[in-house]
Amino acid sequence: MLPWEHIYPLDQHAFLESHYWTETGSVNVFRIVGTDHWDYQGKSWLDLLTKGKSMQQNLRDLMRNPAYYLHTGLRWPAICYNTTDGLNFYVNCDGHHRSCIARFFLAEQQISQLHDVTVNHFKVRHNLYRIYIELRQAINELKLPVELYPEQFQLGQEGAAGWRLDHYRTHLVWIDQATDTRVVMEEMQAQDKLNELLCKISISKSIPSPGFGGHLKRFFKIA
């Protein structure tokens, strides 16, 4: 099982565009690919089926009530999943043993969907995140006296019983410590700034000597 934090690392949280939560979602059990629990990361489903610490009790529950995995209805404790793309799902907190059983049991029934489970769908602004990472690298390479960080705020919320959709917006804040100026950059502005820095880096690397190159560096204000 793959680690959830590799797909949605902590430094991406500030770039969240929307978060959809529902307690009546459906998941293709064969697209459950990972977990946020370090005890199970790196383990196979067969490992969990044969060695899971709570598996024997869950298997007895299956024998007593196989309809639990076939019928709809809210489940308690809830079975929870996270996703960033709506295709690959990661067990969140609770439901590892039941997810494992569902994979094997529903395969025998020629069924793929487990219904009425809790799903968190996180949509990330990946392009802005990429620009942010590349800007930080360029700032470090040019040794600029600049602080750069994302600033996020909530735009609104929709929802009713059993579901909620939160909307967010993120921009980048550029603080030039040499001039004590603060600039807020949306995605297009941030991309323009990145292009500017990459151009400076390219020019700096192409200058062979400190003579004429020194004038070019001063002209382009390259550190």
Query: Please, is 62 exposed, middle or buried when counting C-beta atoms within 10 Å of its C-beta (0-12, 13-18, 19+)?
Result: middle
- Distance between CA 170 and CA 16 in Å, rounded? 8
- Distance between CA 34 and CA 1 in Å, rounded? 4
Give yes or no: residues 32 and 105 share one domain: yes
Give yes or no: residues 90 and 115 share one domain: yes
132 assigned to some structural domain: yes
Q: pLDDT value at position 4?
A: 97
Q: Find, among 168, 222, 165, 157, the residue nearest to 196 by Cα.
A: 222
86 assigned to some structural domain: yes
42-58 pLDDT, tens digit per residue, is: 999 999 999 999 999 99
What is the average per-residue pLDDT within 74-82?
92
Give the domain extent around 136.
125-155+168-220
Q: Is the pLDDT of residue 216 over 70?
A: no
Average pLDDT, the chain: 93
Give yes or no: residues 174 and 88 share one domain: no
| Domain count within the chain | 2
Q: pLDDT value at position 223?
A: 47
- Amino acid identity for residue 30 in this structure: F
Q: Find, among 103, 89, 111, 98, the residue nearest to 25 by Cα.
A: 89
* Contact present, 157 and 10 (Cβ < 8 Å): no
Helix (H) or strand (E) holding 187: helix 187-206
What is the average per-residue pLDDT within 131-158?
97
Q: pLDDT value at position 214?
A: 54
Give yes or no: residues 102 and 55 share one domain: yes
96-142 pLDDT, tens digit per residue, is: 999 999 999 999 999 999 999 999 999 999 999 999 999 999 999 99
What is the average per-residue pLDDT within 178-191?
97
